[in-house]
Chains A and B, each alone.
Chain A
Amino acid sequence: MRVKIRGLIKPVALNSVALLLLIFIVGPLLWVAVASIQGERELLRQPTRLIPQNPTLDNYEYVFTGKIPTDLDVKGNTLRSRISQEARLIPASLKNSFLVATSVMLINLLIGPLAAYTFSRMKFRGKTASFNLILGSRLLPVIAVAIPYYVIIQSLGLLDTHLSLILVYLVLTLPFTIWFLTLYFNGIPTDFEDAALIDGCSTIQSLTRVVIPIALPGLVAAAAFAFMTSYNEFLFARFLTQSIDSQTGPVLIAAIAGNPDASYSLISVSMTLGLIPPLLLALLLRRWLTEGLSTSITFR
């Protein structure tokens, strides 16, 4: 009997811990989403209500059409001055983020496997040195290279362009992609390629026709990492962008929230919109990401 009760207590205790964890992980995300559908006045109540009394899409309507939310539209009221006009630029900034991150991801997929395949399968002079140079470049702290990067981008005449961000993010992502794919390719037996080479395939052909199809999960993970790194980056984007022509989501969101009397409901809207793409990606590619992360730590 004692054993039976103990056997019941354990899963109940563990499940309660897991429930608390679920709330800790998802709670903050849910709260911004809930805050974004509340009016400003309701949001600024003390104590704030966990469940909104009058949920509204006014805040979203403002961001997309410019129609002032009724809750902020009080003449002579201080609330009206809290409207952050930058919030209207959020869709454009997210588009910038998306464009830049997608380009970086595609270029990674193009030149990453090419280099990784060489590092994984070939012997040539200077192999270790070049591999170490590529990986070592990633060890420079971001804050140390921010100013020199600015100088390079300025002298290339690329300030405030998508291209500047794409270049810099390639430097950030390529070393990881190449290291990761080299590991991944190392784990694939060479038998199929040997057969392909005997059949007269070139190196490129054996890469594209034999290795890449087998390594597809690894490529998906590498692509997702490159996309997320670029989508989420803040420091370089802040230095290298100057206007909405190239400003990315994180830069604009930080700017809106940095304003001391910005509207909380509009901040919540911009955060919610900024959250959606990476969260969707993480949910959709969960298996590949988990597998990729696991591979990166257990291979070596």
Chain B
Amino acid sequence: MKIGRRAYPYLSILPVLLVVALFAIYPIIYAVRTSFYRYLLIRPNDHPFIGLDNFIEVVTSYYFRNSIQVTGIYTVAVVIGVILYGLGVALLLNSAIKLAGPLKVVILLPWALPAVVSGLLWKWLLNADFGILNSLLFSAGLIDDYIPFLAVPSLARLSLIMAFIWKEGPLVAIFFLAALQLIPDEYYEAAKIDGGGAWQVFRHVTLPLLRPVLLVVVVYETLTAILTFDTIFVMTGGGPGDATALISWFAYAEIFKSLDLGHGIALAIIIAAITLVLILFYLRILRTEETEV
């Protein structure tokens, strides 16, 4: 057992470093290199150097503007929605009501599923001809005709947002619940003695203490939203038209539908850059938060 104390740390992290190095460094080099070439998958043996043309063509295209717009609206809606939902569920779970118990048992279920399955689940529920939601609304007399949820652009976007909240909400709820449980009861008691109503206590005691977790949740869910792919793949296929063509879907479509690897990779690099900027921004906020405390 005399491998030497000096070598031990390196040996213990070597397997991880090897795997990560192969699958992180090579892809970056490959992606950056490919982005400078005209790379059409229908012409595998002919790929001339074209400088930044891939980036220019992609950024100036109609589809790029559309996907940025769609991704932006979707991300803002989804992040606000998932935070309100998660916070509400967390407050219920943290309360003394009878149904908090059963709710705690099932809350993680949607989060545990493959995104492919949850996407299909919602597609099936919202089906325009045989979906159970249409059946229930119709039987209750709330609608006269079945609604083609996924064929109307605005409804398709709403459906995607709802599917996201259903699937991601549990995680956010658990995060908020963890933070809520760390708040000492004395804080609430003190606030009540000072004569604070329920809303005031929430606004001036609970909310400020949830701030650090809220920050993490905002960034994490923003990234998750921007990178949404599986759900779109099975639920809408970017449609109707290009109403739900988020940027990840656009990158996928460039590679696998237009067979233009150069465009797809250039887009992927743009996505990576956007997420990187977001993460750096977040780290900076965290640092200033910590110095404030």
Contact = CB atoms under 8 A, between A and B. Distances in A.
Contacts of B27: 140, 144-145, 148-149, 152
B16 A134 contact: yes
Contacts of A275: 113, 117
B37 to A, nearest CB: 13
A65 interface: no
B55 interface: no
Interface string B110-125: 1111111100111111
B17 interface: yes
Interface residues of B, number: 94
A133 B24 contact: yes
A279 B113 contact: yes
A21 B92 contact: yes
B19 A144 contact: no
A133 B17 contact: yes
Interface string B131-150: 11011101100000010000
Most buried by A among B9, B19, B107, B234: B9
Given A31-B132, A289-B108, A298-B179, A278 B13 contact: no
Contact of A141 (B92, B95, B271): B271
B182 A298 contact: yes
A18 B100 contact: yes
Contacts of A32: 121, 124
Given A50-B136, A278-B113, A290-B174, A14 B92 contact: yes
A267 B110 CA distance: 19
Given A19-B99, A118-B9, A279-B109, A152 B24 contact: no
Nearest to A45: B130
B13 A28 contact: no
B79 interface: no
B15 to A, nearest CB: 5
Contacts of A53: none
A234 B174 contact: no
Interface in A169-191: 170-171, 174-175, 178
A21 B28 CA distance: 43
Nearest to B217: A297
Contacts of A228: 112
B130 A254 contact: no
Interface string B206-247: 000000110010000000000101100110000000000000
Nearest to B129: A46
B166 A24 contact: yes
Contact of B97 (A14, A264, A297): A14
B9 A140 contact: no
Nearest to B146: A46
Contacts of A145: 23, 27, 31, 268
Interface stretch (B60-68, B188-196, B248-256): B248-256
B98 interface: yes
Contacts of A244: none
A171 B264 CA distance: 22
A124 B17 CA distance: 15
A143 B248 contact: yes
A140 B248 CA distance: 13
Interface in A244-286: 249-250, 253-254, 257-258, 264, 267-268, 271, 274-275, 278-279, 281-283, 286
A152 B23 contact: yes
A248 to B, nearest CB: 9
Contact of B106 (A11, A22, A31, A119): A22
Contacts of B213: 297-298
B166 A25 contact: yes
A271 B117 contact: yes
A204 B224 CA distance: 37
Of all A-B residue pairs in the complex, the 5 with the closest CB atoms, nearest first, are: A294-B178, A148-B27, A144-B268, A47-B135, A137-B24
Interface of A: 11, 14-15, 17-19, 21-22, 24-26, 28-29, 31-32, 35, 43-50, 111, 114-115, 117-119, 122, 124, 127, 130, 133-134, 136-137, 139-145, 147-149, 151-152, 167-168, 170-171, 174-175, 178, 202-203, 228, 231-235, 249-250, 253-254, 257-258, 264, 267-268, 271, 274-275, 278-279, 281-283, 286, 289-290, 293-295, 297-298, 300
